[in-house]
Amino acid sequence: MKKITILFVVLLIIANCAPSVKVAKIQDYGEYPENYKEVIKLYYKARLKDPESARYEWPEKPFKGFYIKGGFTEPIYGYICPVGINAKNSFGGYTGMDMQIFVMRGNELLASDLPYVKAKRYVSEAGFYRLEDYIDE
C-alpha cells in the first residue's frame, strides 16, 4: 500500500509539471522584447558592484516559452531571454561567465536572474520550456 501511495504522488507531481500542448499553444506570450539587451543591462546595473565592468554574451535571441517555478504553480508565459554575464567583484577580479535566464513580455521582466542549463526538450531543469520543442507537430 505504501508503494502505491508513493507511486501515485510521483505521478501526480509529474502530471502537473507542464501545461497541455493545447493550453501552451493558445497562451498569450506578449510582444517580442525588441530591447531585451537594454532591459537586462539596466537590471544588472542596479545590482552589480561594478556595472561598468560587465561583459555580456547573448547565446541566442529570445524565444517563446514558459517557466514553471515549481510543483503546482501556474506557468509564466513569455519570451525566454538567455544571457551570460561576467563582471568584477569587490576584489577587482572577474567572477567568470554566469549564464542566466530572464522571462519577458515586451519590455516587462516577469522572472529574472535564473540559472541556465541547456537541454534538448527544455532549457533548464528549473522549469523553462521552449515552446517549439514542447509542441511536436
Domain boundaries, the chain: 19-134
Q: Is residue 119 very low, low, confident or very high in pLDDT (cuts 50, 70, 90)?
A: very low
Residue type, 24: A
Q: What is the pLDDT of residue 86?
A: 94
Give Dmax over CA atoms of the chain in angstroms. 60
40/102 Cα distance (integer angstroms): 8
pLDDT of residue 75: 80
User: For residues 33 and 63, is the Cβ–Cβ distance under 8 A?
Assistant: no
The predicted model scores a pTM of 0.70
CA separation for the pair 71, 57 (Å, rounded): 31
43-88 confidence digits (pLDDT tens): 999 999 999 999 999 988 998 888 777 666 778 888 988 899 999 9
